[in-house]
A and B are shown apart, each in its own frame.
Chain A
Amino acid sequence: MKLLGQNREPLWKEEFSVFANDERYVSRRQFAKFLVLTSFGMLVGNVWLLLKSVFLRKEQYPRQAIATVADLAVGQSKTFSYPTADDRCVLIRTGERRYVAFSQKCTHLSCAVYYSRDENALVCPCHKGYFSAQDGSVLQGPPPRPLPRIVLEQVGDALIARGVQVNGGSQS
């Protein structure tokens, strides 16, 4: 180094010529950019929910025969798929002339609920969530919302599903 002159910076300083303060500035700027991108991601999430809401309002559910009156005795239940093959539901005959149907997907963590005749309730076996067999409301356990209800119609002897009613909002 001395051969090249006294005032010259040492070689390591030339090669690592970024000051600590400057480096901190850069990382803060990058951090800010990361935060803004995260904010944009959450905006995308909200817009996605908005679009889903718009399309869900317009969604038309099919009319589908799911059972006949003779299929179930009082207190019995039967599973079926509605509106798609992936959406499992449970139909319950709660009275002589009364039928109710609900989605089988627990509103807690989507385990399949089943009808317990002894307890007259829909039970989620995963975390012991209980739903009313009358209206699908939460009786106990961790589920935060009632079960989506399938809108039924009786035409002659046939039971027809014609919509899904989520808590508060009806789609049929």
Chain B
Amino acid sequence: MRSHSPLPRQRGLTAISGALALIILLLIVQIWLLTASLESFLAGHLSVAVPGAIASALIFLACLGLYIFILRVDREVQQD
């Protein structure tokens, strides 16, 4: 079994940058989703609101997961 060792600083930075890029990508999708849901709502297509809200919640959870990942990596790097 591998022993748990702290992440080297440079690898930690790369991991954090990758996670940030993913969060930004998800945010762009979420902005598009909100815009599309609003447009559909104003056009009277009320049924679009449910899948829109579910997808938005999933994206938020993914962002939250990545944020927790960033905190964890940051903590490990600090131990380095």
Contacts and interface: CB of A to CB of B under 8 A. Distances in A.
Interface of A: 21, 24-25, 28-29, 31-33, 35-36, 38-40, 42-43, 45-47, 49-50, 52-53, 56-57, 107, 144-145, 148, 166-169
Nearest to A22: B78
Interface of A is mostly: helix
Contacts of B27: 35, 38-39, 42
B16 A166 contact: no
A47 B56 CA distance: 9
**Nearest 8 pairs between A and B by C-beta?**
A166-B44, A169-B44, A46-B56, A53-B49, A53-B46, A39-B63, A50-B53, A50-B49
B76 to A, nearest CB: 12
Contact of A21 (B9, B41, B67): B9
14 contacts: A28-B17, A29-B71, A35-B20, A36-B23, A36-B63, A39-B63, A42-B27, A43-B53, A47-B53, A50-B52, A52-B49, A53-B41, A53-B50, A145-B43
Contacts of B50: 50, 53
B49 to A, nearest CB: 4
Interface residues of B, number: 41
A43 B56 contact: yes
Interface of B: 9, 13, 16-17, 19-20, 23-24, 26-27, 30-31, 33-34, 37-39, 41-47, 49-50, 52-53, 56-57, 59-60, 63-64, 66-67, 70-71, 74, 77-78
A42 B44 contact: no
Given A50-B52, A53-B46, A36 B20 contact: no
A140 to B, nearest CB: 18
A31 B63 CA distance: 12
A61 to B, nearest CB: 14
